[in-house]
Amino acid sequence: MTATKEFGFELIARDGAARRGRLTTAHGAVNTPAFMPVGTAGTVKGLLPEQVAATGAEIVLANTYHLMLRPGAERVAALGGLHLFMHWPGPILTDSGGFQVMSLTKLRELGERGVRFRSHVDGSLHDLTPERAVEIQHLLDADITMVLDECTPFPASEPEAESSMQLSMRWAARCKDAFKRRPGYGLFGIVQGSVYAALRQDSARALQEIGFDGYAVGGLAIGEGQETTFAVLDATLPGLPAERPRYLMGVGKPDDIVGAVRRGVDMFDCVLPTRSGRTGQAFTRRATINLRNARHKDDPRPLDPDCACPACRSYSRAYLHHLVRAGEMLGPILLTLHNLHYYQELMAGLRDAIESGRLADFAAGFERQQAEGDLSPT
C-alpha cells in the first residue's frame, strides 16, 4: 500500500442519503461504506492478516484498552508501532478504551479528569484520561484516533444522558488539544446523548465547534433496539458535516448495516462476524445459520452456494458441522473467514448500488433473500 500525505475524505457518489466515498490515511485508502473487522488485541482472532485482507477488508479496528494493558502501548511503540507489530500494513482505527473500561472493569472511579480502573488481567491500577487515551493511540500509531467519551448506559434519563454527554464534550475538547497533527492521521469525535434527539443534535453541534476529521455516533447497539438506533441516526446525521466521514460504532447485524448505510453512515465495526464464527454461527445471503444444528450433519452442500470464500469453495456443511461439534480450531477459522467475507461482499454490494443509483433495489433484494430463510434440508 502506498503512503498518502493527507488525511482526507472524498465523496464519490450519493443515492438518497447514502454516500459512496473514499477515506485516505497514512497507510492507504478505504472505500466507504466500509466494515472494519475487530482485531481486539492486535489480531483478528484466528486469521492471518493476509486472510483478513483477502476478505476485502481495507481497515481494521484495534482496542486501546486491551493493548494498553497487554502488551502495553510503550512496548508496541518501541517495536515500531501496531502496523509492524501485528503485520497489518493498512489503515488501523483504535477506539479510546472507554467502552471496555466501562464494560469490563469492576472497580472504577469516573470524574472530570478521567477514569481510574483496575485491569481485568492482573488487577493493576490505571488512569485513563482524554490526554492519555490520545497518547496511547499515538504510541500505537493508529491512523484514526477516537476521542475518550463516557458511554452513557442504556436506559438513562434525559438529565443523566445530558450530563454524561456534556462530560464527553469536555473530554472531546481535551482530546483535540492533546492530538498531535501528523499528515495522514485523523481524530474523530463521538456524538453521545442516548436516545434523545435534542441531546444528539447538541452533541453534534458541540463537536463541530471543536472540529474533527470525522464524526462517530456512539452509545448505540447497547440494547435500545433497531428502530431506536435508526431514529437516533435520523435525528443525528443531518446535523453532521457532509464532507466528513461518519462512523456508527459497534453496529451491527447485516440488516442494521443496510439500514444505516441508507441513512448516510460511512463506517462500521462489530464483533458479530468474528465472535459468531467462533460459536458456530454463519451469516449467509438467506439466513443466519447455526452449524451445531444436527440438520447439517449429512449435508454435502456449501454453507452459501453464492459465496466464493475458502470455507464455501472447498468444504461442506457436514464437514463444518463436524469441526464445530468436535471443537476443532479449523471450525472457528473457516466460519470467521466466511462471515468476514460475507460482510465485505455486503459492503461491496452496497458501494456498487450507491454508485449506480440503485440502492433501494439492492436493499429490497437483500430483504427478500433474508426473508426466504435457509436452504431446505437435504
60 binds Zn ion (CB under 5 A): no
- Minimum distance of Zn ion from residue 238's CB (angstroms): 37
Binding mask 88-117 for Zn ion (x = CB under 5 A): ------------------------------
- Choose between 47 and 248: whose C-beta lies nearer to Zn ion: 47
- Minimum distance of Zn ion from residue 304's CB (angstroms): 5
Cis preceding-peptide flag for 252 (omega within 30 of 0): yes
- Choose between 132 and 285: whose C-beta lies nearer to Zn ion: 285
- Choose between 266 and 304: whose C-beta lies nearer to Zn ion: 304
- Choose between 15 and 345: whose C-beta lies nearer to Zn ion: 345
**Residue 269 appears among annotated catalytic residues:** yes
Q: Which stretch binds Zn ion (CB under 5 A): 115-123, 184-192, 199-207, 304-312?
A: 304-312
Strands (E), 7-161: 8-15, 18-25, 28-32, 34-36, 38-39, 60-62, 92-94, 108-110, 115-118, 125-128, 144-146
Q: How many C-beta atoms lie closer than 10 Å to residue 181's C-beta? A: 9
Q: For Zn ion, which residue of 38, 57, 307, 353 counts as binding (CB under 5 A)?
A: 307
- Minimum distance of Zn ion from residue 274's CB (angstroms): 14
Instruction: Tell me how far apart the alpha carbons of residues 152 and 165 are, in angstroms, rounded to a whole number.
Output: 8
Binding mask 247-286 for Zn ion (x = CB under 5 A): ----------------------------------------
What the block records as the C-alpha cell of 286 is 438467506
What the block records as the C-alpha cell of 56 is 476485502
* Contacts (CB under 5 A) with Zn ion, residues 325-364: 338
Instruction: Tell me how far apart the alpha carbons of residues 52 and 80 are, in angstroms, rounded to a whole number.
Output: 21
**Residue 122 appears among annotated catalytic residues:** no
- Minimum distance of Zn ion from residue 234's CB (angstroms): 33
* Catalytic hit among 15, 141, 266, 269: 269
Identify the sign of the CA torsion 217, 222, 225, 226: positive
Count of residues near Zn ion by CB under 5 A:
5
Q: Are 29 and 55 in contact (CB under 8 A)?
A: no
- Minimum distance of Zn ion from residue 299's CB (angstroms): 15
47 binds Zn ion (CB under 5 A): no
Q: For Zn ion, which residue of 61, 291, 309, 354 counts as binding (CB under 5 A)?
A: 309
Q: Phi/psi of residue 299, each to 5°?
A: -90, 110
- Choose between 232 and 334: whose C-beta lies nearer to Zn ion: 334
Which candidate, 205, 203, 198, 262, places its Cα nearest to that of 230? 262
Alpha-carbon distances of 272 from 74, 119, 340, 342, rounded to whole Å = 30, 25, 9, 12
* Catalytic hit among 15, 95, 141, 149: 95
220 binds Zn ion (CB under 5 A): no
Residues annotated as catalytic are 95, 269
Residues that bind Zn ion (CB under 5 A): 307, 309, 311-312, 338
